[in-house]
Structure 1
Amino acid sequence: MAFTYSCIANGRAVLAELTLTSGSYQEAAAIVLRLVLLRAEPKTIIRMGSFVYHTLCIGGITHLCATDNAMDIITPSAFLKNVSDTFLRNSLMSQEYFSPSNTVAADFQQVLGKYMMKYNKNQDDCSISTLRNQITDVKNIMTQNIDKISESEERLNIFTNRADDPQTTAKESPKTRKTSRRIWW
């Protein structure tokens, strides 16, 4: 569950991008950007291979990230919203001044890296807390099962004790009393 690639594009032109793992993300990103431009929707999710590409289009700028299939839909949406807010707040990163050759693009790669690492770390924390919750649930179920087994064992011991003492059993059972009276007569 991790972010592996992120980029910002104006149309099909990638303005800034960052890859955390090896792979041919640029080719896939080009295909996704073309599909996003054709669809003209503000948010899209496209599955390609073992990755899911999430996009957010605001004011002609497309914010894109690639995640593995295990990640939910909400986290990439929050990631893209934070990246777009940061991008739009900075006046130097407006469409007129932002170009791939500009040093601002390199600076924004650091911003992408910061957000990707932050969200990847949060995903790891979520995984750990999820595992802890699952372990707690299993522990609770096991405790309940042990309690049920103990109760069953107690009931079984009571029945075993009654069966061991035929006199007590005979006295307690009304049918047994009738049978013993008939035998006596």
Structure 2
Amino acid sequence: MTITYSCIANGRAVLAELALTGGSYQEAVAEVLRLVLLSAEPKTVIQVGSYIYHTLSIDGITYLCATDNALDTVTPPEFLEQVSDIFARNPSMPPEHFSPSNAVAADFQQVLAKYMMKYNTTQDDGTISVTRSQETDVKKVMAQNIDTILEREAALNVFLDRTDDLQTTAKEFQKTRNTPRKIWWKYFKRIAIITTAILLSVIIILLSPNVIPT
């Protein structure tokens, strides 16, 4: 990421600005300042074209910088905080003394140039560090998610195994419980058949003419 442009503005009026690369930023900056005033937010990040515009608004003054991509969300805010602190602490730089062509604005252009170069030089290592840190955090979260999924899957398997065991035990218990009933019913039917046969035999014998005269 590279800070390619920065400025300070009072409302929509640019007081001082500096571009490190060629190209026209005026139209995009005017649109960004308009949106900043409409939103009334102290900090904004707005994309216009291929550039990302970061802003910081304090006491009616807007500090703005443009970067060539949005990968770094740490360096632009730090740059704007640094610039706003220098502007607020310097009594020789009240907004009413600024105009794009006067010496005060030219002096502040040097301040912008100094810190743009500083943050463009030092932000690379910081960006890599932040990116690696974020990558490490993401890997940790992913690993934790995988461990959680595996633990839940193992717990579910144990639960299903126990459920199967309980179902098997219940079926075996039901079979064991029904076995005496089946045996008893079997013998009951046999006894009933035998008893019925004996009774019929007795009746037939008793009804025989040689046994009971009619």
For structure 2, the 5+ residue unaligned runs are 137-214
User: In structure 1, what residue type is equivalent to 2:68?
Assistant: D
RMSD after superposition = 2.1
Assess if the C-alpha contact under 8 Å between 1:10 and 1:62 holds in 2. yes
Aligned residues: 134
What is the distance in 1 between the residues matched to 2:39 and 2:95? Answer: 22
Match of 1:111 in 2: 111
CA contact (8 A) 1:92 1:98 kept: no
CA contact (8 A) 2:52 2:70 kept: no
Q: Which residue of 2 aligns with 1:65?
A: 65
The residue that corresponds to 2:54 in the other structure is 54
Quote the Cα distance in structure 2 between the aligned partners of 1:83 and 1:30: 20
Conserved 8 A contact 2:10-2:61: yes
Identity of aligned residues (%): 71
Partner Cα distance (1:123, 1:39) in 2:
29
Task: Give the whole-Å Cα distance in 2 for the aligned partners of 1:36 and 1:65.
Answer: 13
For residues 108-157 of structure 1, give each alpha carbon's deviation from its aligned partner in whole angstroms, at most 9, with x where no partner exists: 001000000000001233467689x7xxx9xxxxxxxxxxxxxxxxxxxx
| SS state at 2:97 partner | coil
**Alpha-carbon distance change, 13 to 126 in structure 1, aligned in 2, over 3 angstroms:** same
Are 1:2 and 1:71, in contact at CA under 8 Å, matched by a contact in 2? no
1:10 matches 2:10: yes
Specify whether residues 96 and 72 from structure 1 end up closer, same or farther in structure 2 by C-alpha distance, changes over 3 A only. same
Which contiguous aligned blocks of 4+ residues in structure 1 show a shift greater than 4 angstroms? 127-131
* Contact 2:16/2:98 (8 A) holds in 1: no
Structure 1: runs of 5 or more not aligned = 138-185
Q: Which residue of 2 aligns with 1:81?
A: 81
Distance 1:70 1:38 in 2: 23
| Equivalent position of 1:20 in the other structure | 20
> Cα distance 1:71–1:104, how it changes in 2: closer, same or farther (>3 A)?
farther
TM-score, structure 2 length as denominator? 0.58
